[in-house]
Amino acid sequence: MARRILALTTFLFVLLFLFPAVAAATLQVHFLDVGQGDCAIVLCDGEAMVIDGGPAATSQFVYSYIRNTLELDHIDLMVSTHPHLDHVYGLSAVLNAVPVDLILTPTLKWDSKAFNSMLKYAEMQGSSLAIPDEGDTLSLGSATVTILHCWPEAIDLGRTNDAFIVLRIDYGNTSFLFTGDAEDWSEYMMIDADINLNVDVLKVGHHGSYTASTMEFLEATSPEYAVISAGKGNSYGHPHQEVLENLNSVNSIVLRTDQLGTIVMESDGSSIERCPQDLLSSTTIF
């Protein structure tokens, strides 16, 4: 009898204390305000992924956000989507902030100090580097990361933006799509590949440039939220009005780092919300 009571007590303890902890599990995506550049940090079940690192001007901000704001001591996966400076420069700061297990990149060679600095710190740390294949999947906690597009040959064609690693994150019934600087060629390639592009949150391509975000691609993705990472008053005019009109046509809620600062989205596996704390501590830089 005593053993049955003990077993029942243990069972109730699990229900009351452990189940709520599981139910409260979430995936967070931090779209950092790095001015005219890209940097996002994804957190799930105690694991972390960094997607690009932003330009030189915000490297210290990225370092501090990882070490002090999020208090991370380890990065499981870092993605260098392509080697342009507004994406790759801050990745050296990430490697200086915390250890990184695996780095994905569309190329292992690029003639720039910033890219080679990333390679140097990765080697010093012993981080693994790999060029992913389309269709590869990785786990980030209970989330699944899928490589939808990686076209290294585009570099030799003079279309470095289209060499971009495009990735999708699925968590429960919710999803995020990171297209970085991938342009219309890449968008049509993904549409022709007949892969699932429908998502809840789209990180809008190329900072909202008209060179991406074709109407066909936005109709295929049909995002509830569209996040644009761009610098305030940037010389490129990003985001372009044509893209904003296209996003309005597919009824997307547009969130812009140049207006809102760092944007934090959170998913419980069923729905996605914008975290209120980013309203209280805007980190707009430019």
Assign residue 264 the CATH number of its domain: 3.60.15.10
The pLDDT tens digits along the chain (286 residues) read: 444 434 434 433 433 343 333 334 699 999 999 999 999 999 999 999 999 999 999 999 999 999 999 999 999 999 998 787 778 899 999 999 999 999 999 888 777 898 899 999 999 999 999 999 999 999 999 999 999 998 766 566 666 556 679 999 999 999 999 998 888 988 999 999 989 999 999 999 999 999 999 999 999 999 999 999 999 999 999 999 999 999 999 999 999 999 999 999 999 999 999 987 544 444 433 3
Q: State the alpha helices, DSSP H only, in 100-201.
A: 113-125, 184-192
- Domain for residue 208, yes or no? yes
Q: State the alpha helices, DSSP H only, in the chain.
A: 2-13, 19-23, 59-64, 85-88, 91-97, 113-125, 184-192, 215-221, 241-249, 257-260, 277-280
- Domain for residue 280, yes or no? no
Task: Look at residue 103 in the predicted model and tell me its pLDDT.
Answer: 97
Q: How far is it, in rounded angstroms, from Cα 3 to Cα 7?
A: 6
- Domain for residue 284, yes or no? no
- Domain for residue 164, yes or no? yes
For the record, the structure tokens of 78 come out as 């870092």
Task: Look at residue 84 in the predicted model and tell me its pLDDT.
Answer: 77
Task: Look at residue 1 in the predicted model and tell me its pLDDT.
Answer: 46
Show the domain range for 246: 25-275
- Domain for residue 18, yes or no? no
- Domain for residue 69, yes or no? yes
* pLDDT per position as a tens digit, 147-192: 999 876 656 666 655 667 999 999 999 999 999 888 898 899 999 9
For the record, the structure tokens of 222 come out as 């049909």
Nearest to 234 by CA among 101, 9, 57, 43: 57
Structural domain count of the chain: 1
DSSP state of 67: I
Task: Look at residue 280 in the predicted model and tell me its pLDDT.
Answer: 40
- Domain for residue 237, yes or no? yes
What phi and psi values does residue 129 have, to the nearest 5 degrees?
Answer: -120, 145
- Domain for residue 138, yes or no? yes
